[in-house]
Chains A and B, each alone.
Chain A
């Protein structure tokens, strides 16, 4: 695989790689926000709340680390008219949303909160 830098990142007039990367950025912010609201439960439900926080921070970090690679892949893909879909990251993101909502349901239904 040759260096991706040899292609002009604005070769695509529709700015598809850039828009896709911005969408990933917005999504990782949403993930962090979703993880952050769980912190409110820390005093009531203790360490169980750590799971969604850790999961969301891990995924946001992963999206952040792979950012440059994904962008260059997209630029290269648009240039050579061939692009492998990003199934791994997409699956990890969907899994995170599922884990967060399942944990939320579990905590609301089954974990008794301490009396206020």
Chain B
């Protein structure tokens, strides 16, 4: 039982060693802060999933199908981009900290802003174009 756990721990650390590409472990507080930052990004992504599905599933009586589909796809695509890149950012930051290098640029922040702006503009256009 004990050996099992140790073997599992060992194989797990081998996978993380391969992903992290060497270096020295940073201050554990930085590792935890990086984890919390990742979690904040993934919650943003999940909120966008919830919003994207909700627009399509709950607003059938309020908006036409084109608006619903456009906004829903915009939100879900943003969620997909944020969700996948947040993992790569987490790994990138962890690697940089292990090699005592400067942290990579947080380009998912402008990505999120751009996608949110596009979704907002689409919304405005549809509201303006809507026949009364």
Contacts from A to B (Cβ < 8 Å): 1, 12, 14, 16-17, 19-20, 23-24, 26-27, 30-31, 33-34, 37-38, 40-41, 74, 77-78, 81-88, 90-91, 93-94, 97-98, 100-102, 104-105, 108-109, 116
Closest to A106 in B: B76
Q: Which residues of B contact A84 (CB under 8 A)?
A: 12-13, 16, 25
Which listed residue (A12, A83, A85, A100) contacts B46, Cβ 8 A? Answer: A100
- Whether the pair A104, B53 counts as a contact (CB closer than 8 A) is yes
The digit string for B61-88, where 1 denotes a CB below 8 A from any CB of A, is 0000000010011001101101110110
Contacts from B to A (Cβ < 8 Å): 5-6, 9, 12-13, 15-16, 19-20, 25, 27-29, 31-36, 38-40, 42-43, 45-50, 52-54, 56-58, 60, 69, 72-73, 76-77, 79-80, 82-84, 86-87, 90-91, 94
Given contacts A93-B42, A98-B80, A98-B84, contact A104 B35 (CB under 8 A): no
Q: Which residues of A contact B35 (CB under 8 A)?
A: 20, 23, 85-86, 90
CA distance A97 to B45 in the complex (A): 7
Q: Which residues of B contact A97 (CB under 8 A)?
A: 42, 45-46, 49, 79, 82-84, 86
Q: Which residues of A contact B36 (CB under 8 A)?
A: 19-20, 23
- Whether the pair B52, A104 counts as a contact (CB closer than 8 A) is yes
Q: Which residues of A contact B5 (CB under 8 A)?
A: 1
Q: Which residues of A contact B86 (CB under 8 A)?
A: 94, 97
- Whether the pair A105, B73 counts as a contact (CB closer than 8 A) is yes
Q: Which residues of B contact A19 (CB under 8 A)?
A: 32, 36
25 A-B residue pairs with CB within 8 Å: A16-B29, A16-B32, A17-B32, A19-B36, A20-B35, A23-B36, A23-B39, A30-B50, A33-B46, A34-B49, A38-B53, A40-B53, A74-B28, A74-B32, A77-B28, A84-B12, A84-B13, A86-B35, A87-B16, A87-B20, A97-B49, A97-B83, A101-B76, A104-B76, A108-B73
CA distance A97 to B85 in the complex (A): 11
Which listed residue (A30, A40, A90, A98) contacts B47, Cβ 8 A? Answer: A30
Closest to A30 in B: B46
- Whether the pair A27, B32 counts as a contact (CB closer than 8 A) is no
Which listed residue (A40, A82, A101) contacts B57, Cβ 8 A? Answer: A40
